[in-house]
Chain A
């Protein structure tokens, strides 16, 4: 399991692996936002949290297509299925690797992007906290989409269409928590805990369903 984790991280970090591309894409989305809404500092800081979340969601989806693609092409996926370790466990590890190379870096660069968007330090902290607990859910839900679309020639678009509706609750509560952190009467904790709960829920359901779909797809 550890070997699989290390292998996946190494593959992703290597040139052309996609981790750096996801970060660049994230930067591009965040930079495009001020052009779209105009350089109004006040407006930008209000929608800053939402921008960061949208960027993270799209950047996360971007790399998901490749989650099983390479393994499917070179036959490692068949090896994984035959190994004594449960497939769901391996999918979980692959999701964790995906998160470590996309979700975690996306969270870590939030302070820099936050300054771009004119957010204050409390908002930045809130955004980091929600992204830290929320982005794993994107990886776990995405694993199901990736498993279903792995053998399709152009599965990437379909994957996004299937996964995005399921990601909407995370987006709602994630952005809600960031907003609640700055507006006074609203408590930050309930939406934050809901995001964590959704992440944990999909950490169980996602790999199980993905492993099931992978097995069904092989014949």
Chain B
């Protein structure tokens, strides 16, 4: 029986990417470009960041901000990536949604860790202490624990389809923490300063500091995109290897 190829409608958009081969081809095309953009943005951002004048209060340490703030943005951004991946698993059952969520977890944990470490280094000269148990810092530490717990959950369930759904439920419930982190500096009186970029009206930061910060933010975003696509590719290949191994094992048994 021959299939009339004209009647098959080519899938479009995200549905088309459900085919791993097509997705891998896209990744192969995109990753070099994204990597180049990342390097260029980091070059510009770091150059601008280091050539900026010292802050009148914070002195030279203000430059930590150019790493700290973007890392924290991406730590939360990676969680939102996981949330959309979780929705993709539970609502649309997109085959790559779990791969996307799973690949974002270690990256998010890395950015969270970077945010905590740079914040701590910044806090030492500014606040006189490495660590305080205030709302922003604590909720951010909780985010790190949630990331690590999710990674453990993903690893402890063997069957991929089941681990995807279980982790998706926990990701969605854990998302409660994100608004708590975002608004902790406004709800509680803490040592951590409140938001000075993403607020209604004009940011309360001089343009001199704002532009390098935004470029560094973009650089981190592209870094995340590059690494995320690469991690997704690794995860897909890992799954293909596993299924090949299973098939090989079954051949031996026959």
Partner of B148, one of A155, A161, A168, A205: A161
**What number of residue pairs across chains A and B have CB atoms under 8 A from each other?**
55
Residue of B nearest to A155 (CB): B156
Q: How far is the CA of A162 from the CA of B151 in the complex (A)?
A: 10
Residue of B nearest to A157 (CB): B152
Q: How far is the CA of A138 from the CA of B210 in the complex (A)?
A: 43
- Within B137-161, the residues touching A (CB, 8 Å) are 138, 142, 145-146, 148-150, 152-153, 156-157
Partner of B153, one of A158, A165, A217, A219: A158
Partner of B145, one of A155, A161, A217: A161
Collect the chain B residues with CB atoms within 8 Å of residue A148's CB: 153, 166, 169-170
Collect the chain B residues with CB atoms within 8 Å of residue A164's CB: 145
The A interface, classified by DSSP as helix, strand, loop or mixed, is: helix
| A-side interface residues, number (CB < 8 Å) | 21
By the criterion CB–CB under 8 Å, are A219 and B162 in contact?
yes
Given contacts A144-B170, A213-B166, contact A168 B142 (CB under 8 A): yes
Given contacts A148-B166, A213-B166, A217-B166, contact A168 B138 (CB under 8 A): yes
Q: How far is the CA of A144 from the CA of B174 in the complex (A)?
A: 11
Q: How far is the CA of A166 from the CA of B169 in the complex (A)?
A: 14
A209 at the binding interface (Cβ < 8 Å): yes
By the criterion CB–CB under 8 Å, are B169 and A162 in contact?
no
CB distance from B148 to the nearest CB of A (A): 7
Collect the chain A residues with CB atoms within 8 Å of residue B173's CB: 144, 166, 205, 209
What is A's interface to B at a CB cutoff of 8 Å? Answer: 144, 148-149, 152, 155, 158, 161-162, 164-166, 168-169, 172, 205, 209, 212-213, 216-217, 219
What is B's interface to A at a CB cutoff of 8 Å? Answer: 90, 138, 142, 145-146, 148-150, 152-153, 156-157, 162, 165-166, 169-170, 172-174, 176-177, 180
22 pairs from A and B in contact (CB 8 Å cutoff): A144-B173, A148-B170, A149-B153, A158-B153, A158-B156, A161-B145, A162-B150, A162-B153, A165-B146, A165-B177, A166-B173, A169-B180, A205-B173, A209-B169, A209-B173, A213-B169, A216-B90, A216-B162, A217-B162, A217-B165, A217-B166, A219-B162
